[in-house]
A and B are shown apart, each in its own frame.
Chain A
């Protein structure tokens, strides 16, 4: 019994100590020249979906819930955000070569269609990220139209 108590105490202290190791926050609301809205035509209906379902991991500005202030939740989120931005950042979309933009749009359409994105773990908590069939269709059709318009340039 004494051992269990000791272990629990160590875990509790550990939990308190890790709260002091806080990842940096991803917050930058400046609208960049390379933002996707400055690169392609993005209808409001599509942009509003992207904002609630995608931008938290795929932009320079994340909406942090209160529980993100606690570790290890904060670390997991920081990890998702770093990886997400590395793959796709809507605020810096215009920096990519045209071919790349087309590839990214193709991936967006494909992953939304296959339900690979938004991440299941994200959808559990963010109910507004659970895209309806109609919303998915809007994004996919927008991505395909955008790819076609880029083809004119490429």
Chain B
């Protein structure tokens, strides 16, 4: 009898302590914070270094985006997913404290969308059309990002295909002049035209 009670007490203790972690869903935290409080690093900005766009890894982001784009253009969902995941890690490492107020505001408005689109692309290796839907939103975000943070020192081309996105049209950024459509892939690789050169 003593042994039984002892066993029951141990089991109860384990159950209660394990489950206290599940107690209350945090109802207040439902809103996605687009503030920068999430940044954990407390890097001190070196006052001798000018606060240029070098603080923001636009080159790495663009590079990740281009890998993604090129994979979609080749109808390769697996490579696109890998590129999406890689882009997401780049985005997660960004330290916004080195940016000026204006840049912080703009990035704050885009960061959640960028990350979520990259994440969805990363998770949908087998559903290339779904990846392309998210790529459309991601491209809009990248285009806005480039407006604020620059082109990373390379000439970029803003392309547009009127047939993509259920014929509503969709844009993308490219690092080369040739049209290699990420939305249509091998079905119609040349569909689209350059709308803007970003030097």
> Which residues of A are in contact with B by a Cβ distance under 8 Å?
6, 9-10, 13-14, 17-18, 20-24, 26, 28, 60, 71, 75, 78-79, 81-82, 85-86, 89, 92, 95-97, 99-100, 102-103, 106-107, 110, 114, 148
A52 to B31, CA, bound (A): 22
Chain B residue contacts of A100, Cβ below 8 A: 32, 112-113
Q: CB of B197 within 8 A of chain A?
A: no
Instruction: Please state if B25 and A99 are interface contacts (CB–CB under 8 Å).
Output: no
Q: C-beta contact mask, B99-132 vs A, less than 8 Å → 1, else 0?
A: 0000000000110110011001000000000100
Given A23-B23, A82-B25: A17 and B15 interface contact (C-beta under 8 Å): yes
Q: CB of B24 within 8 A of chain A?
A: yes
Chain B residue contacts of A24, Cβ below 8 A: 23-25, 27
A21 to B16, CA, bound (A): 7
A21 to B22, CA, bound (A): 8
Chain B residue contacts of A9, Cβ below 8 A: 4, 8
Chain A residue contacts of B24, Cβ below 8 A: 23-24, 78
Instruction: Please state if A103 and B25 are interface contacts (CB–CB under 8 Å).
Output: no
Q: C-beta contact mask, B128-166 vs A, less than 8 Å → 1, else 0?
A: 001001100100110010000000000000000000000
Given A60-B27, A75-B22: A13 and B12 interface contact (C-beta under 8 Å): yes
Interface residues of A, dominant DSSP: helix
A133 to B117, CA, bound (A): 27
Interface residues of B, dominant DSSP: helix
Chain A residue contacts of B120, Cβ below 8 A: 107
In this complex, the interface size class of chain B, counting residues with CB under 8 Å from chain A, is 35 or more
Chain A residue contacts of B34, Cβ below 8 A: 97
Instruction: Please state if B30 and A60 are interface contacts (CB–CB under 8 Å).
Output: yes
Q: C-beta contact mask, B41-62 vs A, less than 8 Å → 1, else 0?
A: 0000000000000000000000
Instruction: Please state if A18 and B15 are interface contacts (CB–CB under 8 Å).
Output: yes
A107 to B19, CA, bound (A): 33
Chain B residue contacts of A10, Cβ below 8 A: 7-8, 11
Known: A9-B8, A17-B16. 4 other contacts (CB 8 A): A17-B15, A100-B32, A100-B112, A103-B137
Instruction: Please state if B15 and A99 are interface contacts (CB–CB under 8 Å).
Output: no
Given A17-B16, A18-B15: A110 and B25 interface contact (C-beta under 8 Å): no
Instruction: Please state if A99 and B116 are interface contacts (CB–CB under 8 Å).
Output: no
Give the distance to chain A from B109, nearest Cβ to Cβ, in Å. Answer: 5
A10 to B144, CA, bound (A): 60
